[in-house]
Amino acid sequence: MTTDTRNNANNNKNEKYARLFFAIQPSKKIQKTLGQVVEKQIQHDGGRLIKPENIHLTLLFLGKTDIDKISALKTAAGNITAKTFNLTIGKTRFWKRNQIIYAHADIYPPELFTLVDAIKNAVQNAGFEFDSRAFKPHITLARKVTRHTLVDFQQPVQWHVKEWLLMQSRQTDQGIRYTSLGRWPLH
């Protein structure tokens, strides 16, 4: 495991809790491509774009977490071994109830669900709690969208997923900002 100490949640001694989630995050190049696809849709349909650097797929949302427990969380996560997998993303979808446009992969391979189950088991055994709702993979690209016109990808995006991350979400003056507190390779 490598740790982004620069972004460590303990940097600010006044913070007692962190808003955390586990995620996979595509390369900057893929984030940019996905951002460009949805930008066209937003121009047409309205809504608020997710900043390209924030584009991710949430594996498990933990929410408010005591920062004193983050090292135990990372230890639990570090014991997981899981496999790499590929996602082919060729379309966007509209989730009307949540008013989002999200990127959708043709197939979500079993390795993804195995990884999520492994994370759930590991963090539960380490004493952490989370909502037990079913995992529905999606990559949010825009919010507050009320209608959706399909814009085809010129070429599907091929995302080779080779690591997963523990992310902290912070509200800042520049909007929501994510920082990674830990990352683990897939094999």
Query: Where does this chain bind ligand ATP (CB under 6 A)?
Result: 19, 21, 58, 61, 131, 143, 169, 176
Closer to ligand ATP by CB, 131 or 173: give it. Answer: 131
Q: How far is the CB of 187 from ligand ATP (least distance, A)?
A: 25
Q: Any residues with CB less than 8 A from the CB of 182 and at least 6 apart, and which?
A: 1, 2, 3, 4, 74, 77, 78, 165, 166
Q: How far is the CB of 17 from ligand ATP (least distance, A)?
A: 12
Closer to ligand ATP by CB, 58 or 114: give it. Answer: 58
Q: How far is the CB of 171 from ligand ATP (least distance, A)?
A: 7
Closer to ligand ATP by CB, 82 or 165: give it. Answer: 165
Helix 110-125 / helix 70-78 crossing angle, nearest 10 deg:
140
Q: Any residues with CB less than 8 A from the CB of 36 and at least 6 apart, and which?
A: none
Rounded distance between C-alpha atoms, residue 160 and residue 94, angstroms: 24
Closer to ligand ATP by CB, 105 or 187: give it. Answer: 105
User: Tokens 């650097």 label which residue?
Assistant: 53
Closer to ligand ATP by CB, 18 or 82: give it. Answer: 18
Structure tokens given for 145: 């969208």
Q: How far is the CB of 12 from ligand ATP (least distance, A)?
A: 17
- CA 25 and chain centroid, separation: 6
Q: How far is the CB of 21 from ligand ATP (least distance, A)?
A: 4
